[in-house]
């Protein structure tokens, strides 16, 4: 527990250091590049990632790191692996839409164990570690108590390859919009998970994510009393393609709905139609 608390403090310092860079570049970007359609990178991403890496290298030089912009330093099989997204929601950031976060998660032997998600624009700092609970701005957070899908509000997102694959989450979005009180899409997976953890939304699902998107948020949800699995309720592996996170109460119901949805097919020139 002492080690986890120390790692949590280091991750917090790193996230806040990156947050300074996000605030500095907010509304002042000069270099916006597109790595692939819809996937942006800016000078703020690079500056924030450098700030995080400087802190981790100073305090934990022997730990492996997987960062969105600079890649893997070390091995996937290392006992300690940090998963870092310097700006989760870069497209939001570039458009000054304030759903953005620094996401820093620590995998210990492959298990998400420490997580910090920091939105410096809205001044919300989410922290959690296994056995230590989860907080937002130092106040304990807990998942909602919504008992049924029909009474819930959900959040989701869409992968960068949604334009070219029928496995694009559109059918799920439409289906669950009719089964719930609403589905939101904010464009930052780490914040989506944080919002499940603090009870703002009751559930979250998405496909096509990377470990740096979700490693920190998984810890928050679990420590706030929620459940994280694959779509079919099997054990979740951080490198798998699909994540389902809920307050736990409606987890089975949401899983069942996801598994019975038929994906939409791509029909170029005419839009989308049912398969």
Q: Which of 121, 40, 124, 54 has the alpha carbon at shortest distance from 82?
A: 54
The answer on 120 and 23 residing in a single domain is yes
Q: Which of 156, 184, 187, 193 has the alpha carbon at shortest distance from 40?
A: 187
In whole angstroms, give the CA distance from residue 98 to residue 67. 22
The answer on 109 and 206 residing in a single domain is no
CATH number at residue 196: 3.40.190.80
The answer on 120 and 65 residing in a single domain is yes
The CA radius of gyration of the chain, in Å to the nearest whole number, is 18
The answer on 167 and 38 residing in a single domain is no
Tokens of 72: 């893997």
The answer on 167 and 37 residing in a single domain is no
Give the pLDDT score at 199: 98
Give the pLDDT score at 162: 65
The answer on 136 and 6 residing in a single domain is yes
What pTM was computed for the model? 0.93
CATH number at residue 33: 3.30.540.10
Tokens of 188: 């930052």
Tokens of 139: 């106040």
The contacts of residue 9 (CB under 8 Å, 6+ apart) are: none
The answer on 153 and 105 residing in a single domain is no
Give the pLDDT score at 17: 98
Whether the CB-CB separation of 203 and 172 falls below 8 Å is answered with no
Which domain, by its residues, includes 211? 149-274
Residue with tokens 């393609």: 241
DSSP the chain: -HHHHHHHHHHHHHHHHHHHHHHHHTT----EEEEETTEEEEHHHHHHHHHHHHHHHHH-TTSEEEETTTEEES-TTSSEEEEEEEEETHHHHHTT-S--EEEEEEEETTEEEEEEEEETTTTEEEEEETTTEEEETTEE--------GGG--EEE---GGGGT-S-SSHHHHHHHHHHSS-EE--S-HHHHHHHHHTTSSSEEEEES--HHHHHHHHHHHHHTT-EEE-TTSSPP-TTSSEEEEE-STTHHHHHHHHHTPPPEEEETTTEEEE-
Domain-ending residue, one of 119, 140, 161: 140
Give the pLDDT score at 275: 34
Give the pLDDT score at 268: 39
Residue with tokens 């970007």: 29
The answer on 89 and 112 residing in a single domain is yes
The answer on 132 and 21 residing in a single domain is yes
Residue with tokens 């699902």: 205
Domain-ending residue, one of 140, 165, 181: 140
The contacts of residue 162 (CB under 8 Å, 6+ apart) are: 168, 169, 170, 208
Give the pLDDT score at 274: 38
Give the pLDDT score at 36: 66
Q: Please tell me the total count of domains within the chain.
A: 2
pLDDT tens-digit profile, the chain (275 residues) = 789 999 999 999 999 999 999 999 999 988 778 776 667 788 999 999 999 999 999 999 999 999 999 999 999 999 999 999 999 999 999 999 999 999 999 999 999 999 999 999 999 999 999 999 999 999 999 999 999 999 999 999 997 766 666 678 999 999 999 999 999 999 999 999 999 999 999 999 999 899 999 999 999 999 999 999 999 999 999 988 799 999 999 999 999 999 998 876 555 333 444 33
Note the Cα 254 to chain centre separation in Å: 19
- Burial pattern 119-141, b for ≥16 Cβ within 10 A else e, equals bbbeebbbbbbbebebbbeeeeb
Domain-ending residue, one of 111, 140, 169: 140
The answer on 171 and 128 residing in a single domain is no
The answer on 122 and 237 residing in a single domain is no
The answer on 190 and 107 residing in a single domain is no
């Amino acid at each position: 527990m002492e080690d986890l608390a120390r790692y949590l403090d280091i991750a917090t310092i790193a996230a806040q250091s990156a947050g300074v860079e996000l605030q500095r570049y907010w509304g002042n970007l000069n270099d916006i590049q597109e790595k692939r359609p819809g996937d942006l990178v800016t000078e703020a991403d690079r500056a924030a990632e450098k700030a995080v890496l400087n802190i981790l290298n100073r305090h934990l030089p022997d730990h492996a790191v997987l960062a969105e912009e600079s890649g893997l330093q070390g091995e996937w099989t290392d006992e300690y692996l940090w998963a870092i997204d310097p700006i989760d929601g870069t497209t939001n950031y570039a458009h000054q839409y304030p759903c953005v976060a620094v996401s820093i998660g620590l995998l210990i032997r492959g298990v998400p164990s420490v997580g910090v998600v920091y939105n410096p624009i809205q001044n919300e700092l989410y922290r959690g570690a296994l056995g230590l609970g989860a907080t937002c701005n130092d106040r304990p957070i807990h998942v909602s108590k919504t008992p049924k899908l029909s009474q819930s509000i959900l959040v989701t997102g869409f992968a960068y390859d949604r334009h070219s694959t029928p496995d694009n989450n559109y059918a799920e979005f439409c289906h669950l919009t009719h089964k719930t009180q609403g589905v939101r899409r904010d464009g930052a997976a780490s914040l989506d998970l944080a919002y499940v953890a603090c009870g703002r939304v009751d559930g979250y699902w998405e496909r096509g994510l990377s470990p740096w998107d979700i490693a920190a948020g998984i810890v928050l949800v679990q420590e706030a009393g929620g459940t994280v699995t694959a779509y079919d309720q099997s054990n979740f592996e951080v490198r798998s393609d699909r994540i389902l996170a809920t307050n736990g109460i409606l987890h089975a119901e949401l899983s069942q709905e996801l598994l019975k949805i038929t994906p939409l097919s791509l029909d170029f020139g005419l839009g989308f139609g049912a398969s």
